[in-house]
Amino acid sequence: MTTSASAAPASASLNGGRSASGRCFNFGAGPSVLPEPVIRQIQEDVWNYKGSGMGVLEISHRAKHYDQIVAEVDKDIREIGSIPANYKVLFMTGGATGQNWIVPANLLPKGGSADYIITGGWAEASFKDATQYCQCHNPGAKIHQAATSKDKGHNYIPADDAIAYSASPAYVHMTTNNTLYGTQWHRVPKVPAGVPIVADASSDIFSYPIDVTKYGVIYGGAQKNMGTTGATFIIIRDDLIEKANKDIPRMCQYGVFAKEESRPNTPPHFAIYTVGLMAKWIKSQGGLAALKKANEEKAGLIYAALDECSGFWAGHARKEDRSMMNITFRAKGGEALDEAFLKLAKENGCDGLKGHRSTGGMRASTYNAFPREGCKVLADLIRDFAKKNG
Ligand code: PMP
């Protein structure tokens, strides 16, 4: 795989904002942009994977080529994430949403409790699904809301002293980056000693160096920073696998996936293979420290333009809690201006900017593979539009 820059328009003025190849700046929140070298490699491997005479979409999950994919993904993910030997990297299906049930099913003892920190729509969904899980399958267990940022439209991350943990939770659940509202934890919460943190890191996994040892479980869908849809990654400490409940369906048990290399049945092998290519691409970019720097610079270009025109634009997130992945903003003058901006942006090659249906306005997602040039184009549009319409 070569390591050149991401596939994107060379100039926003080309061809209605498209490059000669017809590609745009894809600000979509996920599934989202992939690096050009990854796409090119997939194109090759879809036809004939490593001389096997079969495409990667067609090989068996029991074939030796797939054995090699599994081994390499594991090795490369461990290397980029500095994942200690006492953690497993698993792949399941069902997305992060599937984990809303799978986490309490595995980790919550009968009649136990778990604490949830609610910082956005996805965190809220995790809380609600866990509550429903307990009502159906673990009556007597308690899902406790330890904190919520709902009072201010989820525009901030709660301080440690605003989080009220229950007496002895089995785990604390948090969402590291709030994709809908554009806030991100820039610290690890101080949880009671010995209580594992279970983190939904769907929208910022491997976008910065993460100290895995601070967490018991880190999970998420791969479709934003680590590839395409279909594979749910779970990085989990061995002791949690060992003590996980065994009286739940086999296809929900972390232990089964750990024992069977994430293939107790036919896995989403194309998605897992794509995670492997992303891991290699991340290595080629200099690893997570280099990506953190690049991601901060990219988001910084857009935030700087919004701050310069703060009379015209309103950012959703409190400054210190701003996400480096999802930048959420709206025109102070109302929705008609948002619509006009989205139209202009699209004409200039910037697509996928419409905010989530629950928040409206604009959301620029600038994940690992998103090119810096696209952030510059958007920042210029933000300035020009404010000047002309302010
Ligand atoms: N959590 C977060 C933080 C997300 O951003 C998303 C999807 N955007 C989800 C959970 C749900 O993920 P999935 O669609 O993979 O179930």
Does the pLDDT of residue 359 top 90, yes or no?
no
CA-wise closest residue to 33 among 200, 281, 201:
281
Verify cis geometry, omega within 30 degrees of 0, for the bond prior to 158: no
Does the pLDDT of residue 326 top 70, yes or no?
yes
- The pLDDT value recorded for residue 22 is 79
Q: What pTM was computed for the model?
A: 0.95
CA-wise closest residue to 355 among 185, 181, 201:
181
The pLDDT confidence band at residue 7, using thresholds 50, 70 and 90, is: very low
Nearest CA owner, ligand 1 atom 1: 122
Q: How far is CA 103 from the centre of its chain?
A: 17
Task: Report residue 30: phi and psi, to 5°.
Answer: 135, 135
- The pLDDT value recorded for residue 274 is 98
- The pLDDT value recorded for residue 251 is 97
Rounded average pLDDT over 161-180: 98
Does the pLDDT of residue 40 top 60, yes or no?
yes
CA distance readout (Å), 228 to 110, 128, 206: 36, 26, 14
What percent of the chain is predicted at pLDDT more than 70?
95
Task: Give yes or no for a contact between 84 and 210, defined as CB atoms under 8 angstroms apart.
Answer: no
∠ CA 184-190-191, rounded to 5°: 110
Rounded average pLDDT over 300-315: 98
- The pLDDT value recorded for residue 358 is 76
Rounded average pLDDT over 345-362: 93
- Point out the ligand 1 atom lying closest to the alpha carbon of residue 221: 15
Beta strands (DSSP E) in 186-279 are 197-200, 217-221, 232-237
**What positions carry a catalytic annotation?**
122, 200, 224
Other Cβ atoms within 10 Å of 218 Cβ, number: 25
The pocket around ligand 1, CB under 6 angstroms, is made up of 30, 95-97, 122, 175, 179, 200, 202-203, 221
Q: Partners of 178 in the beta sheet?
A: 183
Nearest CA owner, ligand 1 atom 3: 202
Residues 160-170: tens digit of each pLDDT = 999 999 999 99
- The pLDDT value recorded for residue 18 is 59
Axis crossing angle, helix 269-284 with helix 36-47, rounded to the nearest 10: 140
Instruction: Determine how β-strand 217-221 pairs with β-strand 197-200.
Output: parallel
> 119 CA to middle of ligand 1, Å?
13
Residues 67-102: tens digit of each pLDDT = 999 999 999 999 999 999 999 999 999 999 999 999
- The pLDDT value recorded for residue 87 is 99
Residue reference for tokens 């900017």: 353
Tell me the helices (H) and strands (E) count for the chain, helix number first: 10, 14
- Point out the ligand 1 atom lying closest to the alpha carbon of residue 29: 8
Nearest CA owner, ligand 1 atom 7: 202
Mean per-residue pLDDT over the chain, rounded: 95
The pLDDT confidence band at residue 12, using thresholds 50, 70 and 90, is: very low
- Could you tell me if residue 50 is left (phi over 0), alpha (psi between -120 and 50 degrees) or otherwise beta? left
What percent of the chain is predicted at pLDDT more than 90?
93
> 79 CA to middle of ligand 1, Å?
25
Alpha-carbon gap, residue 19 to 25, rounded angstroms: 9
CA distance readout (Å), 171 to 76, 107, 188, 313, 383: 28, 8, 14, 39, 45
Residues 219-277: tens digit of each pLDDT = 999 999 999 999 999 999 999 999 999 999 999 999 999 999 999 999 999 999 999 99
- Please give the helix or strand (H or E) that residue 253 lies within, else none: none
Residues 274-297: tens digit of each pLDDT = 999 999 999 999 999 999 999 999
- Point out the ligand 1 atom lying closest to the alpha carbon of residue 97: 16
Does the pLDDT of residue 382 top 70, yes or no?
yes
Six-digit token pair at 47? 């036809």
- The pLDDT value recorded for residue 17 is 56
CA-wise closest residue to 226 among 1, 27, 34:
34
> 99 CA to middle of ligand 1, Å?
10
Alpha-carbon gap, residue 210 to 199, rounded angstroms: 12
> 277 CA to middle of ligand 1, Å?
21
- The pLDDT value recorded for residue 249 is 97
Q: Which residue has the higher pLDDT, 5 or 57?
A: 57
- Point out the ligand 1 atom lying closest to the alpha carbon of residue 223: 15
- The pLDDT value recorded for residue 3 is 45
Domains of the chain: 14-32+287-389 (3.90.1150.10), 64-284 (3.40.640.10)
> 121 CA to middle of ligand 1, Å?
9
The pLDDT confidence band at residue 192, using thresholds 50, 70 and 90, is: very high
